[in-house]
């Protein structure tokens, strides 16, 4: 990546447009960026980072540090434009942050959204080509080409030396956090966590399986019902649990099988005894049954003989009824003829009562002739009925015309009243629109004041909260410092006491005949003895651990207190000197005023719509008024024509109605008269016909009764039986016959007669013997069923236990495998001798690469004296290894901690580390070439000779076609580096000056 040109407008301290020509500065390979404090040297680097990533580095990206310059005119937009080459492509990135700009037509400000433009130079056409205007697409494209995140870019390209100096003095945990950010080893930490989760899940599944297996064992114990020994005490997770449960289940099944065999033998014996008792009981009961049947048949025969007279009477009634059935058809025909004649005579009497008195004795033919006359008169009234319907239509139409006339009259009066107030209504609506437009303008002005007021109120609340928290933090820090000092003194005291008693501690390990570790003698005549207050090594190590923990807690509280103080200062600067109550009242007043004017302004559209609706209604009412006036004139002509037609129809209908109210009433009168005449004629004919049929039926009935042997038809009718009587008499005959047959069958049966000749049967003794055998069989059967059920249940539970054990085998194997991997990656396994976590292992490899790359430059800067080496040794106690860093001094040949370096040595060691880290991160990002680097401060701590050596190393970067920008206040560098970018601080904003 090579920077070509940077253009800054209204950004940070730069009020006007400033251009940095990196091509001119990079021609010399090494250039200096200098200027007074606060002029804007760091803002140039911030602008580069903002152009690439849309955000400035580190803590400077906060709401309290806006990007826009306070010196810039209100109409000048804040903008950063960067031209660079990366991945063989020449790109131009332009970014504008979200900012306030003046409104175009009214007073006040409006918020303009953030904007981004990405262009690429097309060498073929010799012109710029637009690529994207999306923040997301631009960020993804730049991230893909650079292969680095914003934090990595700020650490690798902008090289903050203070961070690397802290990195040299930091412990393994702090180094791990920084390296993890740069090399993105979160995936390895995720692997550790995932393996830990898998181990916990597998352990949970194993415990669940063991609990299920123990539950099955408990059910086996309940099913065995004490028939086998109890299961030894076991817990989920115990070794050999599955084998113990299976072995114990097999023993329980064997015991249950033995019990089944015993119970089945007892059941077979009980069944044989019950069968013999049953046979004896059946024989006794059969003899008793036959003897009872014979005695019962004798009794039934005597009773049957007493019922014989009743049988003879029933037989006589049935024979007489058979003769009367020959006359039944003639009787039925005569009854039907009589019923029909009676009905016809009644109908004729009812109809004749409705006729006039003069027609009371008229015959059927006379009545039919009168009906035909009335029908002819009805036909002559058809034309009159049509005229009557037309007269009704005319009446209805005239009524409709009257209703329309009244409606039009009311509409004309209402329209005239509405049109009279039209002008005042229109003026009121226009006044409403103007008021809403003025409110909209006022709402925009208040919106520009409301958000800053809210921000100040929120900052004031944070200020008051953080002020109290800062006091509490100071107290916690004081207590932590006192605790750390006390722990330190305790540890030093124990260490001093142990050193004084070291001879006694060494003498405790002496063995007669073995050489002393100090003097080498195998004779120990007077070994030292432990005195009062002798300190053990474990006590010293425990005191050291407590001191280290207290020191770490103190450092953590100090960092929290510093961060809290920074947040408090930022909140106090934003809130100003006003109190929360004052800012709350101010924000509330602005909020209420904004709400009122915004509500009024929101009615602009509704007011315009209301005016439009009113104007449309005005036009519609004028049109409707003219239409109503035309309808009034047409309606008058139509009413006169209808009146003339109605006069002619009324004279015609008066003649046709006669004495009726309407023609329809006259038609109804004639139709009713015709129906009565037709009904009377039909009834008269029906009465004559039924009288003739009745006379013929009387003759046929008398003849049929004589042939059947009855003196009169009435005697034949009396001999007939109803179905109910016939069924009752026949049932008496059938029951008598069936009973006689049944009695004869029993009395003539040879087996029953032999049984009757034997002595009476006795069943009480055989029933008692059978009941005893049955109870014995039931007890044996219940015992056999219980034993078989217990055997089946134990077999089922055993199969279930075996299936559970088979299913649990792979789960246990998976748990063992996952547990070994989780312990290895977490550094808790015995196989991991250095107790290194997986993430630390990866970071250690990266740190080793960084140390090797940094040593090549550090040796040159230190004239071959110093080199950085990575150490994976454990740091004592229970701490883990992997991220140690030491400096090797070639003059002494010893390695020591990097925290022991002096100020100047720390600077060039951190510079070498930063350059080495840049190389490694570049390779990690895919080998993106970094042709432009910036080094921020630190040169003031070097002497002249060391400064020359550092500049030689930096100048060596130019040999690889790199350009390095140094940010420094050191005046000597202005003489040594000719290419310079000076930042000049002026009253109305800073400016840049090139010196090449």
- DSSP string covering 447-473: HHHHHHHHHHHHHHHHHHHHHHHHHHH
867 sits in which H/E element? strand 866-871
Rounded Cα gap, residues 868 and 895, in angstroms: 9
pLDDT band at 79 (very low <50, low <70, confident <90, very high): very high
The mean per-residue pLDDT over the stretch 568-595 comes to 78
Phi (first) and psi of residue 131, to 5 degrees: -110, -45
User: Does 63 score more than 50 pLDDT?
Assistant: no
In the chain, pLDDT over 70 holds for what percent of residues?
78
pLDDT band at 64 (very low <50, low <70, confident <90, very high): very low
User: Does 948 score more than 70 pLDDT?
Assistant: no
**Model pLDDT, residue 876:** 46
pLDDT band at 81 (very low <50, low <70, confident <90, very high): very high
User: Does 444 score more than 60 pLDDT?
Assistant: yes
DSSP alpha helices (H): ranges in 872-943?
A: 903-924
Whether the Cβ atoms of residue 214 and residue 234 lie closer than 8 Å to each other = yes
Tokens of 473: 């933090």
874-886 pLDDT, tens per residue? Answer: 554 444 555 677 7
The mean per-residue pLDDT over the stretch 723-735 comes to 80
pTM: 0.40
In the chain, pLDDT over 90 holds for what percent of residues?
3
pLDDT band at 939 (very low <50, low <70, confident <90, very high): low
**Model pLDDT, residue 80:** 94
Contacts of 333 (CB under 8 A, 6+ apart): 697, 700, 701
Q: What is the C-alpha R_g of the chain?
A: 62
User: Does 927 score more than 50 pLDDT?
Assistant: no
The mean per-residue pLDDT over the stretch 245-271 comes to 78
Lowest mean pLDDT among 90-99, 133-142, 858-867, 952-961: 952-961
Rounded Cα gap, residues 888 and 979, in angstroms: 36
- How many of the other CB atoms lie within 10 Å of CB of 339? 12
The helix/strand/coil state of 389 is: helix
Q: Where are the beta strands (DSSP E) in 154-213?
A: none
Mean of pLDDT over the chain: 75
């Amino acid at each position: 990546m090579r920077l070509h040109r940077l253009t800054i407008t209204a950004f940070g301290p730069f009020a006007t447009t400033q251009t940095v020509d990196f091509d001119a500065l990079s021609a010399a390979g090494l250039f200096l960026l200098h200027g007074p404090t606060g002029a804007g040297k760091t803002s140039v680097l911030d602008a580069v980072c903002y152009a690439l990533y849309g955000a400035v580095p580190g803590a400077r990206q906060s709401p309290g540090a806006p990007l826009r310059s306070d010196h810039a005119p209100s109409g000048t937009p804040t903008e950063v434009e960067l031209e660079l080459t990366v991945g063989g492509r020449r790109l131009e990135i332009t970014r504008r942050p979200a900012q306030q700009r003046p409104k175009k037509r009214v007073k006040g400000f409006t918020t303009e959204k953030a904007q981004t433009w990405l262009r690429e130079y097309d060498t073929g056409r010799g012109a710029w080509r637009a690529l994207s205007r999306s923040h997301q697409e631009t960020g993804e494209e730049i991230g893909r080409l650079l292969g680095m995140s914003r934090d990595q870019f700020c650490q690798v390209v902008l090289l903050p030396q203070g961070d690397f100096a802290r990195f040299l003095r930091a412990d393994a945990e702090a180094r791990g956090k920084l390296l993890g950010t740069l090399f993105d080893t979160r995936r390895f930490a995720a692997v550790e966590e995932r393996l830990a989760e898998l181990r916990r899940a597998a352990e949970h599944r194993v415990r669940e399986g063991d609990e299920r297996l123990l539950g099955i064992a408990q059910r086996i114990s309940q099913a065995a019902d004490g028939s086998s020994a109890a299961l030894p005490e076991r817990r989920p997770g115990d070794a050999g649990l599955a084998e113990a449960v299976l072995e114990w289940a097999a023993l329980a099944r064997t015991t249950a099988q033995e019990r089944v065999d015993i119970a089945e033998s007892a059941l077979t014996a009980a069944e044989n005894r019950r069968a013999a008792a049953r046979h004896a009981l059946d024989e006794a009961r059969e003899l008793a049954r036959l003897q009872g049947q014979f005695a019962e048949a004798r009794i039934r025969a005597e009773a049957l003989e007493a019922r014989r007279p009743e049988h003879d009477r029933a037989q006589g009634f049935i024979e007489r009824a058979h003769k009367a059935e020959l006359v039944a058809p003639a009787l039925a025909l005569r009854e039907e003829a009589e019923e029909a004649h009676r009905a016809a005579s009644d109908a004729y009497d009812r109809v004749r009562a409705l006729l006039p008195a003069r027609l009371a004795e008229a015959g059927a033919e006379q009545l039919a002739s009168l009906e035909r006359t009335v029908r002819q008169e009805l036909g002559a009234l058809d034309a009159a009925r049509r005229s009557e319907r037309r007269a009704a239509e005319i009446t209805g139409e005239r009524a409709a015309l009257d209703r329309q006339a009244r409606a039009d009259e009311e509409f004309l009066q209402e329209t005239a009243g509405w049109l009279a107030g039209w002008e005042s209504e229109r003026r009121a609506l226009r006044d409403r629109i103007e008021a809403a437009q003025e409110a909209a303008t006022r709402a925009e002005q208040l919106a520009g004041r409301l958000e800053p007021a809210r921000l100040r109120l929120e900052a004031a609340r944070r200020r008051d909260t953080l002020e109290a928290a800062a006091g509490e933090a100071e107290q916690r820090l004081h207590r932590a410092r006192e605790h750390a000092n006390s722990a330190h003194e305790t540890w030093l005291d124990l260490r001093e006491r142990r050193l004084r008693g070291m001879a006694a501690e060494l003498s405790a390990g002496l063995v007669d005949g073995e050489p002393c570790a100090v003097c080498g003698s195998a004779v120990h005549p007077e070994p030292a003895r432990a005195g009062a207050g002798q300190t053990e090594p474990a006590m010293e190590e425990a005191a050291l651990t407590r001191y280290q923990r207290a020191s770490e807690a103190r450092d953590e509280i100090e960092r929290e207190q510093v961060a809290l103080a920074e947040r408090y200062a930022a909140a106090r600067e934003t809130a100003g000197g006003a109190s929360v109550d004052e800012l709350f009242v101010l924000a509330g007043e602005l909020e209420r005023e904004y709400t009122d004017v915004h509500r009024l302004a929101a009615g602009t559209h509704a007011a315009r719509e209301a005016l439009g609706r009113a104007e449309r209604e005005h036009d519609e009412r004028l049109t409707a008024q003219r239409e109503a006036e035309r309808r009034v004139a047409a309606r008058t002509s139509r009413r006169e024509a209808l009146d003339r037609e109605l006069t002619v129809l009324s004279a015609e209908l008066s003649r046709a109605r006669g004495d009726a109210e309407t023609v329809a009433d006259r038609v109804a009168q004639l139709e009713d008269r015709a129906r009565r005449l037709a009904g009377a004629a039909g009834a008269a004919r029906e009465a004559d016909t039924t009288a003739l049929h009745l006379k013929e039926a009387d003759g046929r009935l008398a003849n049929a009764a004589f042939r059947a042997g009855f003196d009169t038809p009435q005697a034949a009718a009396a001999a007939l039986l109803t179905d109910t009587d016939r069924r009752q008499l026949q049932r008496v005959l059938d029951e008598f016959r069936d009973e006689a047959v049944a009695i004869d069958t029993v009395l003539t049966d040879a087996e029953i007669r032999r049984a009757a000749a034997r002595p009476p049967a006795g069943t009480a003794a055989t029933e008692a013997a059978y009941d005893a055998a049955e109870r014995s069989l039931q007890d044996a059967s219940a015992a056999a069923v219980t034993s078989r059920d217990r055997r089946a249940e134990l077999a089922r539970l055993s199969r279930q236990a075996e299936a559970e054990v088979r299913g649990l085998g792979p789960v246990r194997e998976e748990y063992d495998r996952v547990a070994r991997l989780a312990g290895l990656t977490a550094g808790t396994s015995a196989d991991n001798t250095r107790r290194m976590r997986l993430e630390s292992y990866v970071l250690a490899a990266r740190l080793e690469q960084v140390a090797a790359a940094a040593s090549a430059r550090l040796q040159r800067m230190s004239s071959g004296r110093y080199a950085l080496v990575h150490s994976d040794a454990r740091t004592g106690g229970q701490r883990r290894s992997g991220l140690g860093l030491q400096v090797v001094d070639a003059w002494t040949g010893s390695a020591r901690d990097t925290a022991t370096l002096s100020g100047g040595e720390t600077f060039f060691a951190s510079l070498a580390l930063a350059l080495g880290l840049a190389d490694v991160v570049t390779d990690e990002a895919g080998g993106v070439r970094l042709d432009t680097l910036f080094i921020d401060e630190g040169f003031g701590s070097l002497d002249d000779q060391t400064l020359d050596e550092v500049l030689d190393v930096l100048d060596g970067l130019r040999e690889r076609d790199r350009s390095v920008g140094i940010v420094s206040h050191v005046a000597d560098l202005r003489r040594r580096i000719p290419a310079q970018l000076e930042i000049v601080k002026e009253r109305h904003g800073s400016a840049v000056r090139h010196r090449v």
